[in-house]
Homo-oligomer: A and B are copies of this chain.
């Protein structure tokens, strides 16, 4: 089995942390000088360990293993959210470097803009699998300051460079390590999460049209209270969704707003933002059918009309059973009884790479679940442990 040099792995992570350091975290927005410095540093590091490294026209850093196959692909992203943590993305990239240092036949990738500083997001992983068009690049702008993506690429010195594509058939699978960005592992006293898949997120807007009226002069029977219809519909969803959901489905009403929102006025309109997540497409489809049935039932019962509009549907990306089995075995070996399988509720580069090869992910615990904040952290012993688990699993999978 390959042995990870934990000290070297942690030194690499801390070297990268110094680029764009912000308090105990980092500030490396996509294509910023700090981000580009980190990409050039990564190219140099990859070359040092014998990989053929380059930056492509969307900012992807790719280190190609020089030996014979079969090969694995591993990595994540190297840019950060604004003033955010040192591990989100960087951990996956430096884990891939550690696998390469340990002699595994790994291509290392740092995909550009997983964090979505630019409209669209996931620019690098979309580009490398061939689903990011030039027209989309032409349209996209910075969500921070509106700078056109083309201008940002030019300022970063990337204009005109070719955008690399993954070589079909070259990789047996993709492995990504990431921080959990939640508290499930920590709360359960666990050290490793074997990810079962990246959830699909289906987002909806429900608008309810009633009749704004004075609360004093309108009897209960006369009212068309959009807020009350919203409450009844959301209570129905709260009753019905558990009957169709999966074990780890989530659903969230992030926004409930009624107009005009004054104490003595019957709301004439309600606006609801609702979403659900699961790693199984059939479960997502059952949940959609349930939501549609509840809205239909509401419109049958109520005097206010509810309208359901889909905002977005991202596809779930289930992880590969064989890679999960390899990770299970390695986790049980290094942290017996202190690991679990779990879905990823957030998006990751792996969800796009999953379209062209088997993918797997492993989560390290996040201290207090802090994410997208400079205080984000993970214990060093958990970082080292998870890296070793991933290395063992990668080798076992290659030999399997």
Q: How far is the CA of A266 from the CA of B345 in the complex (A)?
A: 13
Which chain B residues border A344 with CB–CB below 8 Å? 216
**A256 proximal to B (CB < 8 A):** yes
A255 touches B250 (CB 8 A): no
Stretch at the interface among A25-33, A46-54, A224-232: A224-232
Complex Cα distance, B253 from A227, in Å, reads: 7
Shortest CB–CB separation between residue A360 and chain B, in angstroms? 19
Within 8 Å CB of A263, what residues of B?
203, 252, 254-255, 273, 275, 311
Q: Give the size category of A's interface with B.
A: 35 or more
Complex-state Cα separation, A127 to B149, whole angstroms: 67
* CB of A224 to closest CB in B, whole Å: 12
Number of copies: 2
In the complex, chain B residues whose CB is within 8 Å of the CB of A252: 215, 225, 263-266
- Complex CA distance for A265 and B262, rounded to whole angstroms: 25
Nearest to A273 among chain B residues (CB) is: B263
B199 and A216 contacting across the interface, CB-CB below 8 Å: yes
- Smallest CB–CB gap between A277 and chain B, Å? 6
Binds B, one of A90-98, A154-162, A169-177, A180-188: A180-188
Chain A interfacial positions (CB closer than 8 Å to B)? 180-184, 187, 199, 201, 203, 213-220, 222, 225, 227-228, 230-232, 234-235, 238, 248-258, 261-267, 273, 275, 277, 311, 344-347, 369, 371
